[in-house]
Chains A and B, each alone.
Chain A
Amino acid sequence: SQQGEEDPQALSIQEGENATMNCSYKTSINNLQWYRQNSGRGLVHLILIRSNEREKHSGRLRVTLDTSKKSSSLLITASRAADTASYFCATSRGDSWGKLQFGAGTQVVVTP
């Protein structure tokens, strides 16, 4: 069954706007990661947040983690057309070392 579940399923914004997507999961985790996938390609790692962290930044990306609510959010600020992609959250559990469980992703379209 699906561990991570992204919301919304799809998001359409204009260049310069911020994009926010959320991920909810079911069981306790060691860390949560976000990946980007361009159409028909493999996934690229964006950012990792550990279970004892609440917020992390990387360039235009901001990730939050609320373990009490079992949820995370990814914010992309000042979006660009090149940010058009699907974004997946993935969780790592203590009893499944090294194996990630992915959600179905949020499809983001950024129009010029």
Chain B
Amino acid sequence: EADIYQTPRYLVIGTGKKITLECSQTMGHDKMYWYQQDPGMELHLIHYSYGVNSTEKGDLSSESTVSRIRTEHFPLTLESARPSHTSQYLCASSNRGGQGEKLFFGSGTQLSVL
């Protein structure tokens, strides 16, 4: 069982609200990632971090922002949520570098914007 936690598990909010999705891991992993997944579709990388104070945008453009002030914490923020942001958001972490890198995933946050 992976020690990576996401809260909330489900979130239903109205358009225009500011939201923060929390992600924490207790494994001391340097690298953390946010993926976005729509039902029956592939995962898209939207943000990643290779360590404290390091954040980069992923392959899929996203209006969300992230921060990495502590190794264990990688929150994702939407300043003004819209219905197009409705999706599942998965946080992941990894440690080993080079070619043998596997990801540990949280259980995800299912976001619905009305």
Mark A residues whose CB is within 8 Å of B.
Answer: 2, 4, 30-31, 33, 35, 40-45, 48, 50-51, 88, 90, 92, 97-105, 107
Selected contact of A101 from candidates B59, B88, B105, B106, CB within 8 Å: B59
Whether B108 lies near A42 (C-beta < 8 A) is yes
Q: How far is the CB of B43 from chain A (nearest CB, A)?
A: 4
Q: How many A-B residue pairs have CB under 8 A?
A: 70
Interface size class of B (residues with CB under 8 A): 20 to 34
Q: A88-B42, A98-B31 are in contact. Are A30 and B99 (CB under 8 A)?
A: yes
Whether A99 lies near B43 (C-beta < 8 A) is no
Is B103 among interface residues, defined by CB-CB distance under 8 A? yes
Whether A43 lies near B99 (C-beta < 8 A) is no
Whether A50 lies near B102 (C-beta < 8 A) is no
Whether A98 lies near B99 (C-beta < 8 A) is no
Q: A88-B42, A99-B33, A105-B42 are in contact. Are A41 and B108 (CB under 8 A)?
A: yes
Q: Dominant SS at the A interface?
A: strand
Whether B99 lies near A100 (C-beta < 8 A) is no
Mark B residues whose CB is within 8 Å of A.
Answer: 2, 4, 6, 31, 33, 35, 40-43, 45, 48, 50, 58-59, 88, 90, 92, 94, 97-108, 110
Closest to A43 in B: B105
The 3 closest A-B pairs by CB, nearest first: A42-B105, A102-B43, A45-B102
Q: Which chain B residues border A48 with CB–CB below 8 Å?
A: 100, 102
Q: Which chain B residues border A41 with CB–CB below 8 Å?
A: 107-108
Q: Which chain B residues border A35 with CB–CB below 8 Å?
A: 103, 105
CA distance A52 to B88 in the complex (A): 34
Selected contact of A97 from candidates B45, B92, B97, CB within 8 Å: B97
CA distance A101 to B107 in the complex (A): 19
Q: A45-B103, A48-B102 are in contact. Are A104 and B108 (CB under 8 A)?
A: no
Whether B43 lies near A98 (C-beta < 8 A) is no
CA distance A43 to B33 in the complex (A): 13
Whether A88 lies near B43 (C-beta < 8 A) is yes
